[in-house]
């Protein structure tokens, strides 16, 4: 059964579950948006999974292809040289490839294509934290309703 026919956001909990246990990550959770992530008190390094909307693909005949966009945001904090950001980048530099490898090519459910990383937003640096967003697309085929 295609879970997306009953719950359009079914991939969110599956992505969170998939990312739990990635070496070096203290916590994995969902969130509403990047502002929500930035305002949370957080144990770091943390990963947040956020629904980022859809991109419409091809349609024809009896189905529509839609690409769900999922942001996977790595959050780190470091006391090492905050002025240059070198501590932030060193920690993120080790964790980002683990996250990418864990998700790229993974097919979370029947009715979906394998996740593909696409160009995402730039990192956000604050006084205390750095947010490194990775953007993934998940192709989903939806049957059209002829009525």
Q: In terms of pLDDT, which residue wins out, 147 or 141?
A: 141
Domain 3-141, what architecture? Answer: 2-Layer Sandwich (3.30)
Token pair of 86 as six digits: 């070198």
Output the average pLDDT for the chain. 86
Least trusted range by pLDDT, from 57-61, 79-83, 99-103, 128-132: 79-83
Helices 86-103 & 11-19, crossing angle to 10 degrees? 120
pTM (two decimals): 0.87
- Nearest of 142, 146, 145, 10 to residue 65 by alpha carbon: 142
């Amino acid at each position: 059964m295609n879970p997306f026919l009953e719950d359009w956001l079914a991939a969110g909990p599956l992505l969170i579950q998939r990312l739990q246990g990635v070496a070096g990550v203290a916590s994995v959770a969902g969130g509403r948006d990047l502002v929500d992530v930035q305002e949370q008190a957080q144990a770091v390094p943390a990963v947040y999974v956020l629904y980022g909307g859809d991109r419409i693909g091809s349609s024809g005949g009896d189905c529509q292809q839609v690409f769900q966009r999922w942001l996977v945001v790595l959050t780190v904090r470091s006391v090492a040289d905050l002025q240059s950001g070198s501590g932030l980048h060193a920690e993120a530099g080790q964790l980002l490839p683990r996250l990418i490898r864990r998700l790229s090519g993974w097919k979370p459910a029947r009715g979906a294509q394998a996740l593909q990383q696409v160009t995402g937003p730039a990192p956000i640096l604050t006084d205390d934290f750095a947010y490194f967003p990775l953007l993934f697309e998940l192709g989903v085929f939806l049957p059209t309703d002829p009525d």
